[in-house]
Structure 1
Amino acid sequence: MKVITIPYKPRPLWKDIIHPALDKYRFAVIVAHRRYGKTVGMINELSKSAIKNTLISPQFAYVAPFRNQAKMIAWNYLKYYTSAIPGRKVNESDLFIELPSKHKNAVGARIYIIGADKPDALRGTYWDGVVLDEYAQIKPELWGEVIRPALADRKGFAYFIGTPKGQNQFYEIYQRAQRSEEWFTCLYRADESGVLDEAELKSMMEDMTDIEIRQELYCDFTASASNVVIPIDLVTAAAHRLLQEKDVQGSPVILGVDVSRFGDDRTTIFKRQGLWVDVPLVYKGLDTMDTAARVINAINKNKADMTFIDSGAMGAGVIDRIRQLGYSNISEVNFGGKALAEHRYENIRAEMYFKMLEWLKSGGAIPDMPELKSELSIVEYKFSKHGKIILQPKEEIKEKIGKSPDLADGLALTFARPVYPRLKPGDPGYGRKMMCNTDYSIF
Structure 2
Amino acid sequence: MAGIKVTIPYRPRYPQVHERLEAHRFAVLVAHRRFGKTVLAVNHLLKAAVRCPLERGSYGYVAPFRTQAKQIAWAYLKHYSAPIPGVTVNESELSVTLPNGARIRLFGADNPDALRGLYFDGVVLDEVAQMRREVWQEIIRPELADRNGWAVFIGTPKGVNLFHELFVQAQKDTSGQWLALVYRVGDTDALSAAEVEQMRVEMSEGAFRQEFLCDFSASSDDVLITIDEATESSQRIYLPTAYQSMPLVMGVDVARFGDDRTVIFPRRGLVSSDPIIVSKLDNVEVANRVISLYHQMRPHSIFVDAGQGQGVIDILRQALPCVYEIPFGGSALDAAKYYNRRSEMWFLMREWIRAGGATPKVDGLVGELSSPLYSYDAKGRISLEKKEDIKERLGRSPDLADALALTFAMPVLPESQGRQEYADRQTNVLMEYNDLSNGGGYADGIPQSLI
Scaled to the shorter chain, the TM-score interval is 0.5 to 0.7
Select 2:168's aligned residue among 163, 171, 175. 175
Partner amino acid for 2:55? Answer: I
- Percent of pairs identical after alignment? 36
CA distance in 2, matches of 1:362, 1:200: 41
Shift of 1:403: 8.6
CA distance in 2, matches of 1:134, 1:436: 50
Select 1:9's aligned residue among 11, 20, 26. 11
SS where residue 7 of structure 2 aligns?
coil
Partner residue in 2 for 1:128:
121
CA distance in 2, matches of 1:384, 1:231: 21
Shift of 1:193: 0.6
Count the aligned residue pairs.
388
CA distance in 1, matches of 2:329, 2:408: 9
Partner amino acid for 1:5? Answer: T
- Give 5+ residue unaligned stretches, structure 2: 235-247, 267-273, 292-301, 413-419, 434-448
Shift of 1:146: 2.6
Select 1:112's aligned residue among 105, 117, 120. 105
Question: Is residue 206–residue 221 contact of structure 2 (8 Å, CA) maintained in 1?
Answer: no
Residue pairs, 1:195-344, within 5 angstroms = 195-205=190-200, 207-224=202-219, 228-230=223-225, 232=227, 255-256=252-253, 270-272=262-264, 274=266, 275-278=274-277, 307-310=304-307, 331-335=325-329, 337-339=331-333
CA distance in 2, matches of 1:392, 1:80: 46
SS where residue 47 of structure 1 aligns?
helix
Partner residue in 2 for 1:156:
149
Q: Normalized against structure 2, the TM-score is what?
A: 0.67
Partner residue in 2 for 1:85:
84
Alignment RMSD (CA, Å): 4.9
Question: Is residue 185–residue 191 contact of structure 2 (8 Å, CA) maintained in 1?
Answer: yes
SS where residue 278 of structure 1 aligns?
strand
Question: Is residue 89–residue 98 contact of structure 1 (8 Å, CA) maintained in 2?
Answer: yes
CA distance in 2, matches of 1:402, 1:8: 35
Shift of 1:36: 1.0
Residue pairs, 1:2-41, within 5 angstroms = 2-11=4-13, 14-15=14-15, 17-41=16-40
Residue pairs, 1:133-148, within 5 angstroms = 133-148=126-141
Question: Is residue 30–residue 185 contact of structure 1 (8 Å, CA) maintained in 2?
Answer: yes
CA distance in 1, matches of 2:278, 2:171: 28
Partner residue in 2 for 1:166:
159
Shift of 1:219: 2.2
CA distance in 1, matches of 2:278, 2:316: 27
Greater radius of gyration (CA)? 2
Change (3 A) 1:184 1:109: same
SS where residue 90 of structure 1 aligns?
strand
Partner residue in 2 for 1:243:
none
Partner residue in 2 for 1:245:
none
CA distance in 2, matches of 1:365, 1:194: 40
Shift of 1:161: 0.9
Q: Normalized against structure 1, the TM-score is what?
A: 0.68
CA distance in 2, matches of 1:345, 1:80: 52
Question: Is residue 168–residue 232 contact of structure 1 (8 Å, CA) maintained in 2?
Answer: no
Shift of 1:204: 4.3
Select 1:191's aligned residue among 186, 202, 207. 186
